[in-house]
A and B are shown apart, each in its own frame.
Chain A
Amino acid sequence: GQNIDQPTEMTATEGAIVQINCTYQTSGFNGLFWYQQHAGEAPTFLSYNVLDGLEEKGRFSSFLSRSKGYSYLLLKELQMKDSASYLCAVSDSNYQLIWGAGTKLIIKP
């Protein structure tokens, strides 16, 4: 079966760095997405990785290791507005997105 695993909840301090991990087992791989979802709102796109390595975009970076079925999202200089759920999704062999349950990130002052 297809499976995406990520921690249910994480807590971090404003100004700090946090790493959210995602492991996956899917039928085929056509890229991995990270989305941000604030409570009561729609998911919004953060990053996309299809090749191994690190993609940096401002305070956010995303890493992929295809051989390990592993990705992480790194958030630097945390701000209160970063409190949200972070969703990991893998595009499978049919280009359908398989979604993890999301990681709720709580930022404390």
Chain B
Amino acid sequence: IAGITQAPTSQILAAGRRMTLRCTQDMRHNAMYWYRQDLGLGLRLIHYSNTAGTTGKGEVPDGYSVSRANTDDFPLTLASAVPSQTSVYFCASSDSASGAYNEQFFGPGTRLTVL
């Protein structure tokens, strides 16, 4: 593994189903993030984790949950998918959650369609 991986690459999901998007990084970064990207809108933060064992809510957390059991993995779960959750989801990581310079590195994204 090099950098950040996400799975699946794409998924079509029926409304009401439960779905977990996976994210793994091998850079030993402390902080990890989940964003959604919709046409015409900037990246919007869903949830974040400053370090293993802690998580926080971003700008658009409703309908999503995360866990951070270890440094490498940061799965995002949609408990009961709705069509408005159709989006491209990016996982990102940074060496530190604080400090002036916190460049974020992004995974390749998961394209999710909820019908």
Contacts and interface: CB of A to CB of B under 8 A. Distances in A.
Interface of A: 4, 8, 30-31, 33, 41-45, 48, 50, 87, 89, 91, 95-102
Interface of B: 40-45, 48, 58, 90, 97-109
A107 B41 CA distance: 22
Given A42-B90, A43-B90, A43-B106, A91 B42 contact: no
Residues of B contacting A: mostly? loop
A102 B35 CA distance: 15
Contacts of A87: 42-43
Nearest to A95: B98
Contacts of A100: 42
Nearest to A30: B100
B103 A48 contact: yes
Given A42-B108, A42-B109, A44-B106, A95 B42 contact: no
Contacts of A102: 42
B108 to A, nearest CB: 5
| Top 3 A-B residue pairs of the complex, sorted by shortest distance between their CB atoms | A99-B42, A42-B106, A99-B43
B42 A101 contact: yes
A98 to B, nearest CB: 8
Contacts of A4: 42
Contact of B101 (A42, A44, A50, A99): A50
B42 A31 contact: no
Query: Chain B CB within 10 Å — which of A31, A41, A42, A43 has the most?
Result: A42
Contacts of B100: 30-31, 50, 91
Contacts of A98: 42
A66 to B, nearest CB: 13
A87 B44 CA distance: 13
B107 A97 contact: no
Contacts of B105: 45
Contacts of B102: 91, 95, 97
A101 B41 contact: yes
Given A43-B43, A87-B42, A87-B43, A97 B104 contact: yes
